[in-house]
Amino acid sequence: MISPRTPVRPKNYVKMPLRHRVSAFFLPIICGLFTLWAVDARGETGKWADIAAKIGKLDAVAIAAPDGKIIFSKHAHVPLIPASILKILTALVALDRLGPDYRFPTDFHIGSDQNLVIKGYGDPFLVSEHVQAICGTLSGQVDAIENIVIDASYFQEPVRVPGTSVRSLQPYDAPIGALCVNFNTVSFKKQNGRYISAEPQTPLLPLAEQLLAAISVDQGRILLSEEKTELTRYAGELFRYFLIESRMNVRGEILTGLLPPDAGQPLYRHSSALTLAQVIEYLMKYSNNFIANQIFLAAGAAAYGPPATLEKGVRAAERYAKSIGIDPVIVEGSGISRQNRVTAAMFLKILDAFAPYHELLREKGPVFYKTGTLNGIQTRAGYIRGADDQLYRFALLINTPGKLADPVVQRICDRLLQL
């Protein structure tokens, strides 16, 4: 074999034209270097050949050792649609701006007119059980109120999340807002020819009955809409129901309005039952788009002041992304939009930053992971605990319709456990 360090001149070298002599001198060097490169490439690719074969032009994969060294990658710098694995970045932005121990507040004021003003700050877990407990606390402090006034001004309304549909029956399309209850969805079923709530802790309220009258489905979930103040009306109806159940006299109507600037301290401030870290654990387990964009906007408001807007959430995310050395395209926080773009290489840096919180992800055997699914899109990102008990990072973005992600993840896992 010809060594690239010891080129051999042809016998008629001196008689050859200059351009031919140059070619004759350098060609063995180039060929030798190419041969060495090809051997190394085949050796490295050979270890991952079955995985490399599954990564098409619209797909990407990147795998890193615990020390950050890239073990294997293909198309790692191609921007692709991340789907719900984007929620890992959203969680990091919220943790950065709000802190893991943050609890969303909701304030309750009683004015001289005896109106109960409820001001929300984006709590994504204001569910029936918590509303019932709040109303029990309020009933011990006041006997009667006039109107219930909902102040949802902490979020700009309406918030149009790219990729969602209005009047959808899919929970992932639920709208967001500063004061929302039960994830802005109503679970229902038909019984004896009439609609009832499918959740024993939640009554079927007048607004829900009105919306159900317009559809012909026997069971499922309906979503509230940003239109016609449905979000605030439904929240007011739920509070009114549980206030009356707590034996409080509610004499007036449900209104929308603003808390007066001179309102002073609230009669009661409710702190969310869950810390932000616990909210994120739920987010990662159920991949709830509503929760993702609630914390996305709350982070934006914490960074740039209220009212919370999608644009401020994007700015906060872009600023955080820059701080860890990446530059993704982000238009919302849940991954539902196909306008989002992230590379597999960027995701390795996201996973580096999220490593202290990796146990908030779903766990299956040695894998801590987040899934992402849209029509024609399958993505996975997370950590694999290797045979050496250390965490390896992986990011897999499949944007080829019809391809499956899980078999590739399983092969990555098998390969890493052999290292």
pLDDT tens-digit map of 145-164 = 999 999 999 999 889 999 99
250 and 325 in a single domain? The answer is: no
Q: What is the mean pLDDT of residues 298-310?
A: 98
Written as six digits, the tokens of 81 are 């649609």
Tell me: the pLDDT tens digits for 241-257?
999 999 999 999 999 99
Q: Say if 17 falls within a structural domain.
A: no
- Residue 215: predicted pLDDT: 85
- Residue 47: predicted pLDDT: 81
CATH number at residue 231: 3.50.80.20
| Backbone φ and ψ of 134, nearest 5° | -60, -45
Q: Say if 198 falls within a structural domain.
A: yes
Look at residues 273, 305, 325 and tell me which one is the last residue of a structural domain.
273
Tell me: the pLDDT tens digits for 75-120?
999 999 999 999 999 999 999 999 999 999 999 999 889 999 999 9
174 and 235 in a single domain? The answer is: yes
289 and 333 in a single domain? The answer is: yes
Look at residues 223, 250, 273 and tell me which one is the last residue of a structural domain.
273
pLDDT bin (cut points 50, 70, 90) of residue 216 is confident
85 and 225 in a single domain? The answer is: no
- Residue 169: predicted pLDDT: 74
Q: Say if 384 falls within a structural domain.
A: yes
- Residue 168: predicted pLDDT: 74
Q: From CA 368, how far away is CA 416, in angstroms rounded?
A: 14
- Residue 368: predicted pLDDT: 98
Q: Say if 290 falls within a structural domain.
A: yes
- Residue 228: predicted pLDDT: 72
CATH number at residue 333: 3.40.710.10
Q: Say if 57 falls within a structural domain.
A: yes
Which amino acid would we find at residue 159?
Answer: V
Q: Burial of 396 by CB count in 10 Å (0-12 exposed, 13-18 middle, 19+ buried)? A: buried
Tell me: the pLDDT tens digits for 21-55?
444 444 444 444 433 333 333 334 578 999 999 99
268 and 299 in a single domain? The answer is: no
212 and 249 in a single domain? The answer is: yes
pLDDT of 12 strictly over 60:
no
Cis peptide upstream of residue 158 (ω within 30 degrees of 0): yes
pLDDT of 6 strictly over 70:
no
Q: Which of 100-109, 160-169, 254-263, 312-321 has the lowest mean pLDDT?
A: 160-169
186 and 142 in a single domain? The answer is: yes
281 and 225 in a single domain? The answer is: no
123 and 141 in a single domain? The answer is: yes
Q: From CA 314, how far away is CA 349, in angstroms rounded?
A: 19
pLDDT bin (cut points 50, 70, 90) of residue 328 is very high
Look at residues 219, 241, 273 and tell me which one is the last residue of a structural domain.
273
Q: Say if 200 falls within a structural domain.
A: yes
CB atoms within 10 A of CB 201: 11
Q: What is the mean pLDDT of residues 125-131?
A: 97
168 and 81 in a single domain? The answer is: no
Distances (CA, A) of 316 to 245, 296, 312: 42, 9, 6
In the chain, the number of structural domains is 2
Choice between 321 and 415, residue whose per-residue pLDDT is larger? 321
Contact yes or no for 141/246 (Cβ under 8 A): no
- Residue 43: predicted pLDDT: 38
Which amino acid would we find at residue 52?
Answer: A
pLDDT of 8 strictly over 90:
no
281 and 268 in a single domain? The answer is: no
- Residue 45: predicted pLDDT: 58
Q: What percent of the chain has pLDDT over 70?
A: 89
Q: Say if 93 falls within a structural domain.
A: yes
196 and 57 in a single domain? The answer is: no
CA 283 to chain centre: 7
pLDDT bin (cut points 50, 70, 90) of residue 17 is low
- Residue 28: predicted pLDDT: 46
pLDDT of 16 strictly over 70:
no
Q: What is the mean pLDDT of residues 177-198?
A: 95
Q: Say if 261 falls within a structural domain.
A: yes
Give the structural domain span for 127: 105-273
